[in-house]
């Protein structure tokens, strides 16, 4: 017959694992219902751009401050010269900006891909350090990348 008695060491291990599990559940409850969201969009793929913008829009509607950062090939999503390709995404960006979202665009990426400020859709802000201080580095900001 097998001995089913637990050793003191095994009891401590189980207690420790249960405590860690409970603390992790409690920590999830401390995530703020209005923590800011910073979305990093690096792609000019239509599906990825749509996903990033839609996810951000949904969180904005739930009360989260939203910043979308267009960088690398993502700068094309914010270019008027690409309106035929990104019309739906640009419309969505305009809508979320009208509701208080910030859309930043990478100046080095713009230069790399030959985009000028005059190419940008209205409302976009060319990224600079102080804008990142206000958005990406704001306390409790959550980040996602597409």
What domains can you pick out in the chain, each with its CATH number? 37-145 (3.40.1260.10)
Summary mean pLDDT of the chain: 89
Q: What is the mean pLDDT of residues 67-72?
A: 98
- Among 108-112, 113-117, 137-141, the least confident range: 137-141
CA distance between the termini of the chain: 57
Which strand (E) or helix (H) includes residue 131?
A: helix 129-134
Residue 1 has pLDDT above 60, yes or no: no
Residue 91 has pLDDT above 70, yes or no: yes
What would the two tokens of residue 4 be? 């089913």
Question: Are 52 and 146 in contact, with CB atoms under 8 Å apart?
Answer: yes
Which pLDDT score is estimated for 11? 72
Looking at the DSSP bridge assignments, the partners of residue 66 are 37
For the entire predicted model, the pTM comes to 0.78
């Amino acid at each position: 017959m097998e001995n089913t008695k637990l050793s003191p060491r095994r009891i401590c291990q189980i207690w420790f694992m249960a405590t860690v599990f409970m603390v992790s559940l409690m920590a999830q409850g401390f995530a703020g219902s209005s923590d800011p969201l910073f979305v990093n969009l690096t792609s000019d793929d239509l599906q990825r751009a749509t996903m990033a913008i839609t996810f951000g829009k949904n969180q904005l509607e739930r009360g989260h401050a939203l910043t979308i950062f267009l960088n690398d090939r993502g700068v094309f999503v914010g270019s008027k010269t690409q309106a035929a390709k990104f019309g739906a995404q640009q419309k969505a960006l305009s809508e979320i900006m009208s509701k208080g979202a910030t859309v930043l665009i990478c100046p080095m990426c713009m230069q790399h891909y030959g985009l000028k400020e005059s190419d940008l859709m209205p409302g976009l802000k060319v990224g600079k350090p102080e804008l990142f201080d206000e958005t990406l580095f704001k306390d409790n900001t959550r980040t996602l990348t597409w």
